[in-house]
Amino acid sequence: MAPANRDTAVTGVMPERVRLRDTSMRAIESLPGVTATREAKTAFLRLLARSGVPEIVLAAPARSGHEAVRDDLALVREEQPGCVVYCPFVSAADGVDLARDLGFDGVQVAVPAFGPAAAIYGGSVPASRAEVVGQASEIVAHARTQGLRVAVAATMVSYLTEEELTETVKAMAAAGADEITLFDGPGALGPEAFGHLVHAAASTAPDLEIGIHPHNTFGLGVACAVSAARAGATVVESSVNGYCGGPGNADLAATAAAFEALYGVNTRINLATLTELSRTAAELTGREPATNQPITGPDAFCWGGGDWVVLESEVDPLMHNCVEPSLFGNERRIPVTPQSGPRVIAATLHRLGIEVDPPLLPSITEKCHAELARLGRLLTDDEIRAIARTALTH
């Protein structure tokens, strides 16, 4: 890692720790075209809890069913007793009471960004921003009387003026909220602007925790998380593979890796679980991330099949890979490609448990190139074994 990443003169002061709150279970329920079995969701949630993520947002009880929620809560507590589990987007007192009865640790109370448009599906439509905030304040206060932790979800904060934001923060703090989470659904906030809003919120109510929910519209979700943490945010919402509506959230793996590896910020995540978690989520949803998905993709640490890759890795495996893939449960991959020479072939055969005399390597290399050209794709391990055996028997 570049030393400047830990130099406060360069980066500013980063916190010692940040809490990551995973929203994958909520997101999976609303992803277009995704239907998953109860068994698959349970297996995924078990892995998620085992990852050490300190906070989890489950699916809304109305979506997953009350018994399923109780089972999920019991599973999380079995795997990670200290994990804080939230019920998402509660907007009425009876929703608070249901969350309490089901056994949630906390609720997210939504504060929509707009006035008259904020509750168009409700029985009475608020006429002003003040009424929207007032209704949310009542729900926050009620949730606190029920012994629940309250994270206020201030949605679409990119549309709020700074004055509207600070007034909302003051009201939520006065109502007894533990945290206000700045949600940027459109992804319209850049890292600098997100940091600015976090600082404004934190300055307005110093005793209120500030969280963020960044979207990845411009590929800046992780950058927004880092900027927000530098500005005083203590909670970052993210999801496995970035699953959410639209362009998605900051990816849990990339967010945790950036905080831990680049900046030395403790997330409590068991980093070695991240690749399995990512691939389990992909199997669950049928939505495969890019093969070069940062941190967890099968090609995230693959630099092609040229001999220089093997040579460089023999000198220092961290020349091009600034972290060891195994830190995240991933692995370094060097495929046989048309650019591969005898070094790659030798390394591949060694991995497959096949030892050959060096004079045979050029011939095996040539045969691999010919088969690559004929098939128009990479070779499987079995196909490489067959080529090597042919060379060894002639």
CATH number at residue 57: 3.20.20.70
Q: What would the mean pLDDT of 139-146 be, rounded to a whole number?
A: 98
Question: Is residue 256 domain-shared with residue 354, that is, in the same domain?
Answer: no
Question: Is residue 197 domain-shared with residue 335, that is, in the same domain?
Answer: no
Q: How many CA atoms lie within 13 A of 26 on its CB side?
A: 21
Structural contact between residues 274 and 256, judged by C-beta atoms closer than 8 angstroms: yes
Which residues, listed in sequence order, are joined to residue 211 by a DSSP beta bridge? 181, 235
Question: Is residue 155 domain-shared with residue 196, that is, in the same domain?
Answer: yes
Residue 322 structure tokens: 């600034």
Range of the domain at 351: 307-392
pLDDT-derived band of residue 126, with 50, 70 and 90 as boundaries? low
Supply the DSSP symbol for 360.
Answer: G
Nearest to 165 by CA among 118, 205, 222: 205
What's the pLDDT at 32? 86
> With 60 as the cut, is the pLDDT of residue 118 above it?
no
**253 is a domain residue:** yes
In the numeric block, the tokens 């391990």 are attached to 381
Average pLDDT value over all residues in the chain: 94
Nearest to 270 by CA among 59, 23, 20, 8: 20
Question: Is residue 121 domain-shared with residue 170, that is, in the same domain?
Answer: yes
Identity (one letter) of the amino acid at 125? Answer: V
Question: Is residue 56 domain-shared with residue 187, that is, in the same domain?
Answer: yes
pLDDT-derived band of residue 125, with 50, 70 and 90 as boundaries? low
Question: Is residue 338 domain-shared with residue 237, that is, in the same domain?
Answer: no
pLDDT-derived band of residue 116, with 50, 70 and 90 as boundaries? very low
Question: Is residue 316 domain-shared with residue 279, that is, in the same domain?
Answer: no
Q: What is the pLDDT of residues 162-221, one digit of tens each?
A: 999 999 999 999 999 999 999 999 999 999 999 999 999 999 999 999 999 999 999 999
Supply the DSSP symbol for 213.
Answer: E
Q: What would the mean pLDDT of 146-166 be, rounded to a whole number?
A: 95
Question: Is residue 169 domain-shared with residue 29, that is, in the same domain?
Answer: yes
Q: What would the mean pLDDT of 320-338 be, rounded to a whole number?
A: 96
Q: Find the length of the chain.
A: 394
Q: What would the mean pLDDT of 124-140 be, rounded to a whole number?
A: 83
Identity (one letter) of the amino acid at 213? Answer: H
pLDDT-derived band of residue 124, with 50, 70 and 90 as boundaries? low
How many Å apart are CA 220 and CA 232, to the nearest integer? 18
Tell me the percentage of the chain whose pLDDT exceeds 70.
96
Question: Is residue 195 domain-shared with residue 334, that is, in the same domain?
Answer: no
pTM: 0.92
Q: Sort strands 209-214 and 179-184 into parallel, antiparallel or unpaired.
A: parallel
Q: What is the pLDDT of residues 269-318, one digit of tens each?
A: 999 999 999 999 999 999 999 999 999 999 999 999 999 999 999 999 89
Number of domains in the chain: 2
Identity (one letter) of the amino acid at 118? Answer: A
Question: Is residue 280 domain-shared with residue 312, that is, in the same domain?
Answer: no
Question: Is residue 145 domain-shared with residue 248, that is, in the same domain?
Answer: yes
Nearest to 41 by CA among 54, 57, 55, 24: 24
